[in-house]
Structure 1
Amino acid sequence: MDGAVTKAPPAPLSVASALERRVSVRAFLDRPVPREIIERIVRQAARAPSGGNLQPWHVRIIDGSDMAAFKALMDQRIREAPDSEPMPAPFYPDPLTSAQLRRRQRNGEILYAALGIDRTDMAARRAWNALNFRFFGAPSGVFLFLDRNATPFQWLDLGIYLQSLLLLLAENGLEACPQADWAMYGETVSGALGVDQALMLVCGVAIGHADPAHPENHIRTERDDPLAQERNG
């Protein structure tokens, strides 16, 4: 024995702990994530259930030198089409219920307060929102696609896959941010990645290690009791 102390590997997170740990991280360290780790997690998440076992999700990974070129492409595209390309569906119901409106407004208040951006400063809000299309500085990202013939039930399946992906990332010590905003530029993303036009982009996910110096990474959004009778009022 040479007296060396062997550190035990960290205990795996429980599902409850992974769920509690998960937050939407919007600022990342410049610290690459090995691609093989993301590939393994993407494949593990495919154990998620789906109606009829259709497994309707399609996943593409982007990282490394491809990420740098892709960000440059997106910077140019946003300048050309700042108001979005055609989207597969609206972001939100119209109109929102009073409870939905309250939650959305509160979410915006918390986020912009952490960022130090006044809610009336639309230029600052647009500049910050553009960081979505740079994966908030994350070294890796994935895109999730569905077949264009998907019904609401395949969208449900994709949501189950996405949550499985997020929990597995947390279990592996990685942080992430699911980003529906990528659906605003589905044509550009699909073209850049060589994705068949029979598929539609639903969202992206930024993946990496959170930068603790950024206040937006310390936000914990509120949750209502899902069993409360008045929650949809």
Structure 2
Amino acid sequence: MTSPNLFQQPTPADTAAVDTAIVTRRSMRAFLPTEVPESQIEEILNVASRAPSGTNTQPWQVHVLTGAARQRLVDRIQAAYLDPAELAKHTEEYAYYPTEWVSPYIDRRRKVGWDLYGLLNIAKTDKARMQAQHARNFQFFDAPVGLIFTIDRVMQQGSWLDYGMFLENVMIAARGRGLHTCPQAAFTQFHRLIAEELQLAPSQMVVCGMALGHADPAAVENSLLTERAAVAEFTRFYRD
């Protein structure tokens, strides 16, 4: 990769390409079996590694699963998720969501859930189909590439902010190559199984998973377009 001119003004085409990659990034929940070359995964991660981090600590560690390695992890977690007694043994290692929900967050959470289930014709009372849909998380939604992200336990909240920027870079770099992703916090519940399967050092903590591949354009769930608040709702300008 050649070094870009950092001080050259982007062309309108450059701006449009970046904006398109950002606004077309969605969490896809159905993928085609089309393989993604390892060289392309390396390209994505190389670009993503330019994410900023405090004092250049670069706290991210990435575990790429394809083929049989991916399937072994999928099988182990699926078996645990579908067995009530085994599922009860697995809990998240960190709190992703608040312990007490308030508006507008709970309203947004409920809406996206029911919007998705509505597309899939899953009724609010159909617990079995809800469970089956949630289980698809642990198949990486059939994506041929599963990514597991870990961080060293010594790192603190600032490094988790840095990590989020790295994850976004992964997703945007993937879009720039015609690929789609789905970031998946659901995997954190099974951090012990992941640690065993990937032989993680005790110092490593699972941050999340991510599906990577070619989205299935025929899958109705991939038509979900989540709403975003207007800029005026979350921004204040101070002029004087």
Same fold per superposition (TM over 0.5): yes
Question: Counterpart in 1 of 2:184?
Answer: 179
Paired residues, number: 221
Question: Counterpart in 2 of 1:66?
Answer: 69
Deviations 1:114-162 (A, max 9, x none): 1110122112111110111110101001111111122221110110000
Structure 2 residue 55 is matched with structure 1 residue 57: no
Structure 2 residue 76 is matched with structure 1 residue 100: no
Report the secondary structure of 1:98's partner residue: coil
Report the secondary structure of 2:233's partner residue: coil
* CA distance in structure 2 between the partners assigned to 1:94 and 1:86 by the alignment: 14
* CA distance in structure 2 between the partners assigned to 1:107 and 1:124 by the alignment: 17
Contact 1:180 1:202 in 2 (8 A): yes
* CA distance in structure 1 between the partners assigned to 2:66 and 2:187 by the alignment: 16
Q: After TM superposition, give the deviation of residue 202 of structure 1 in Å.
A: 1.1
Question: Counterpart in 1 of 2:48?
Answer: 45
Please, which runs of 5 or more residues in structure 2 have no aligned partner?
Answer: 1-12, 236-240
Describe the shift of the 1:120–1:35 C-alpha distance in structure 2 as closer, same or farther (beyond 3 A): same
Q: Within 5 A, what are the aligned runs for 1:20-169?
A: 20-78=23-81, 79=83, 81-83=86-88, 85-169=90-174
* CA distance in structure 1 between the partners assigned to 2:26 and 2:35 by the alignment: 20
Moved over 6 A (4+): none
Q: After TM superposition, give the deviation of residue 229 of structure 1 in Å.
A: 5.9
* CA distance in structure 1 between the partners assigned to 2:199 and 2:46 by the alignment: 21
Q: After TM superposition, give the deviation of residue 86 of structure 1 in Å.
A: 3.4
Describe the shift of the 1:84–1:207 C-alpha distance in structure 2 as closer, same or farther (beyond 3 A): farther
Please, which runs of 5 or more residues in structure 1 have no aligned partner?
Answer: 1-10
Question: Counterpart in 2 of 1:196?
Answer: 201
Q: Which amino acid aligns with 1:141?
A: G
Q: Identity rate of aligned residues, in percent?
A: 35
Q: Which amino acid aligns with 1:219?
A: L
TM-score (norm: length of structure 1): 0.89
Report the secondary structure of 1:14's partner residue: helix
Q: Which amino acid aligns with 1:89?
A: Y
Q: After TM superposition, give the deviation of residue 196 of structure 1 in Å.
A: 0.9
Deviations 1:97-126 (A, max 9, x none): 210011111111111101110122112111
Deviations 1:53-76 (A, max 9, x none): 111111110002222222222222
Contact 1:88 1:202 in 2 (8 A): no
* CA distance in structure 2 between the partners assigned to 1:15 and 1:131 by the alignment: 30
Q: CA RMSD in A?
A: 1.9
